[in-house]
Amino acid sequence: MLVIKMKDSNIFSKVYMIFFSIFILLSTIFILFILDSNNIRPGFIKKISILYTALIFILGILFVFKLKILLSNVLYKLNEMIDKSINDEIVVTSYDETILSSLEHKLHKYTKISKSNKEAIEEERNKIHELVADISHQTKTPIANIVLYSQLILENDDIDEYSKDILTDINTQSERLDFLIQSLIKMSRLENGIISPSKGKYKMFNTVSQAIQEVYINAENKNININIEGQEYIEAIFDSKWTKEAIVNILENAIKYTSQYGDININISSYELFKRIDISDNGIGIEESELNNIFKRFYRCKNANEYEGVGIGLYLTREIISAQGGFIKVSSKIGEGTTFSIFLPS
């Protein structure tokens, strides 16, 4: 543990006074000598002038050199203070009126406040994670039973159409609630680092194909064609399971917001540092003013209110891609469609 103490005296003021005093002394002697130059030969006056100029020049060099040393010492102390403050090793044992001492005191105070806030945030985050996990555990069985019972009753041919419609709605909403809870669990685990991607070198074509298989039925129900282009041998560093889920989230959105008989085109390309997956649709599109918001939790676009959704899918997608050292971009035009571009490390 380091204890930093600052000197009471202002070393810079001392240096200024010393060098200024020397300058005044030399200048005074030179002026007095010039005033008494009637009895001195002109050649000697010239030599004295050169000597005075040389002394002032040397004095200036010494002054700059001394200031450089003092500034280096101050920067070293500041650097040491910051390092020790980051490691929580500073102990302020005394306080004086110097600037560095005041800075040390404020830095230590700021570090303590920051550490306290960080601990409070971490504690709150853990509480939220525990709450989400508890809710998931408590609701998993009831929701599964509701879905199961509603499906069993729907299989009964004796129920009337009105009851069947209500049960169908119950079944749909129960599945939606289960999806929301499972998404919240994934989001919480990703944010708290409980789930971390296990990266390896995989072929991107295979992962994209697996993602397409998961959404194929939904696409077929709307007669949407999904086309994939790109060389099958292109590889990148990523977690195949989590990346597939990220791609599925984008594809589900594309299918949801694309009309009947639409098209979704996927292109895989290779760059030196990154591999790229472009997922393009010809759906409703996104307004330019909303492009920076679509990856926020629970955010839904203005023109998407009539569609089912909770606004978690794209947030999870960005978290998954970012956790693997990649990034995601989006471009869109209203009425023409949207393109999501996923970049993964080579």
3-state secondary structure of 299: coil
| Two tokens, residue 179 | 């999806």
Query: How many Å apart are CA 260 and CA 242, to the nearest integer?
Result: 29
- Give how far Cα 179 sits from Cα of 139, 172, 174, Å: 12, 11, 9
| pTM: predicted TM-score of the whole model, two decimal places | 0.57
Show the low-confidence residues of the chain (pLDDT under 50): 1-9, 93, 95
Name residue 237's beta-bridge partners. Answer: 201
Query: How many Å apart are CA 254 and CA 262, to the nearest integer?
Result: 10
Between vectors from CA 39 to CA 35 and to CA 41, what angle results, nearest 5°?
Answer: 100
Q: What is the pLDDT of residue 3?
A: 41
> Count of alpha carbons within 13 Å of 85, Cβ hemisphere only?
20
| Two tokens, residue 189 | 């685990």
Q: What is the pLDDT of residue 106?
A: 73
User: Quick one: which of 341, 342, 340, 344 has its CA closest to 324?
Assistant: 344
The β-bridge relationship of strands 235-238 and 200-203 is antiparallel
Query: How many Å apart are CA 13 and CA 67, to the nearest integer?
Result: 11
| Two tokens, residue 136 | 């998931």
Answer positive or negative: Cα dihedral of 237, 296, 212, 287: negative
Q: What is the pLDDT of residue 37?
A: 62
Cβ atoms of residues 295 and 329 within 8 Å: no
Angle between helices 42-86 and 11-35 (to 10 degrees): 180
- Give how far Cα 197 sits from Cα of 7, 305, 342, Å: 52, 33, 16
Q: What is the pLDDT of residue 278?
A: 93
69-74 LR contacts (CB < 8 Å, sep 24+): 70/11, 70/12, 70/15, 74/100
Cβ atoms of residues 279 and 251 within 8 Å: yes
Cβ atoms of residues 187 and 315 within 8 Å: yes
Q: What is the pLDDT of residue 267?
A: 93
Q: What is the pLDDT of residue 65?
A: 85
Residue with tokens 């041998």: 233
Cβ atoms of residues 59 and 22 within 8 Å: yes
